[in-house]
Amino acid sequence: MRTVDILTEKPYQVRIGRGLLRELGGQLALVHRPCRAVVVTDSTVGPLYLEEALASLQGAGFSAESYVMPAGEEHKSAETFLDIQRFLIRTELTRSDLLVALGGGVVGDMTGFCAATYQRGIPFVQVPTTLLCAVDASVGGKTAIDLPEGKNMVGAFHQPILVLCDTETFDTLPDLRWQDGAAEMLKHGVLADGEMFALLAAGSWREKAEELVQKNVEIKRSFVVGDEKDKGKRQLLNFGHTVGHAVEWLSGFSLSHGQAVAIGMIAETRTARKMGLTKLDEEIILRGAQANGLPVSFPAAAQDVAAAILRDKKRTDGGIAVCVPLRLGETRLHMLPLEQVREYVEMGLMP
């Protein structure tokens, strides 16, 4: 088992290894006294892993119940959120109990936000079952739901008390989900680790999943610790996400999150190069994305993408902080004035 300590204001550990789901109860008992635990999962992950999770919790003295939400980003909604909250009230969950997120980033973001708000905040545990969730979403404490007006529009910062990543669960992931994870890892490579970027860009790295999860959690940690509320260096993690979130939204979620991020990274780097902010050629990222089966462009009108970006909660009065990759492994923030957003998008979408 590999362990990464995340020393945020409330420190917690990420534990990574094959077969760890069987140890969920025992691992949880090390950080929380036995209580009632509600496992939130989705309709795809539930049939695969819920039984094992519940049995492990019960075996360690937790009384375990479950809530199964429909799978898919379109269900990271206010309706699901309210339904879970009402379920928690009906089951009389108290503030000394906890939630367990068993699934990908959708379940993680949803469960985290439920935990952040149920009775003004109860503890929760992340059990990521997608690579994307393991290398990114499960760490850092950002939780959110989507509204018809925009993605991740309503959320909270709420750190988990434990992240338990059983890499054996990746065995059932379809190719698309491996590709999604690759996109966020490529992002981390551009931001902080050129060597890892090269490994990913060469393809065939799946057997190194455990090591890669550890490496990526460490990279994410380096941006999150010291900036939990996303006011400084953490904003660099938005690389690829300014344009990415917008095209993900405009595609009506026919693009997955990882696919959108790949498109976003290429567009944002292209713009930065055209603006003379970097010498890094976006072709390098494009080839890395292609080697992992990721799309590299999307037919959206620049004005629609710009409008979606301008609705994004990450803008401030002064503009939008965008990430400029200087070379593989080094980046900086650039403040883009709001009136330049349209031009920024046009430059990025046009080869």
Chain residues binding ligand NAD by CB under 6 A are 42, 44-45, 48, 71-73, 76, 103-107, 109, 129-130, 132-133, 136-137, 140, 142, 152, 169, 172-173, 177, 180, 257
Kind and range of the H or E run holding 331: strand 330-336
Can you list the alpha helix ranges (DSSP code H) found in 161-293? 175-192, 194-201, 209-224, 241-250, 257-274, 282-291
Nearer to ligand NAD, 69 or 266 (CB): 69
**Nearer to ligand NAD (CB atom), residue 109 or residue 210:** 109
Toward ligand NAD, which CB reaches closer, 28 or 260? 260
**What is the rounded CA–CA span in Å between residue 296 and residue 265?**
9
Task: Name the residue type at position 99.
Answer: L
Contact of 216 with 135, CB cutoff 8 Å: yes
Query: Least Å distance between CB 162 and ligand NAD?
Result: 16
Q: Find the shortest distance in angstroms from Cβ 111 to ligand NAD.
A: 11
| Closest residue by beta carbon to ligand NAD | 105
User: Which DSSP category does 47 fall into?
Assistant: I
**Smallest distance, Å, CB 104 to ligand NAD?**
2
Reading the block at residue 271, the tokens are: 């713009």
Question: CA separation (Å) from 315 to 174, 246, 341?
Answer: 35, 13, 11
Alpha helices in the chain (DSSP H): 24-29, 45, 51-59, 78-90, 105-117, 131-132, 175-192, 194-201, 209-224, 241-250, 257-274, 282-291, 302-311, 341-349
CA–CA separation, 118 and 88 (whole Å): 8
Nearest distance from C-beta of residue 241 to ligand NAD, angstroms? 9
Give the shortest CB-116-to-ligand NAD separation in angstroms.
Answer: 12
Q: Between 15 and 76, name the residue whose CB sits nearer to ligand NAD.
A: 76
> In the numeric block, which tokens belong to residue 114?
């439920």
For ligand NAD, the closer CB: 258 or 325: 258
The least CB distance from residue 96 to ligand NAD, in Å, is 25
- Nearest CB to ligand NAD, comparing residues 166 and 282: 166
* Closest to ligand NAD by CB, 112 or 278: 112
d(CA 107, CA 97): 18
At its nearest, how many Å lie between ligand NAD and the CB of residue 168?
A: 9
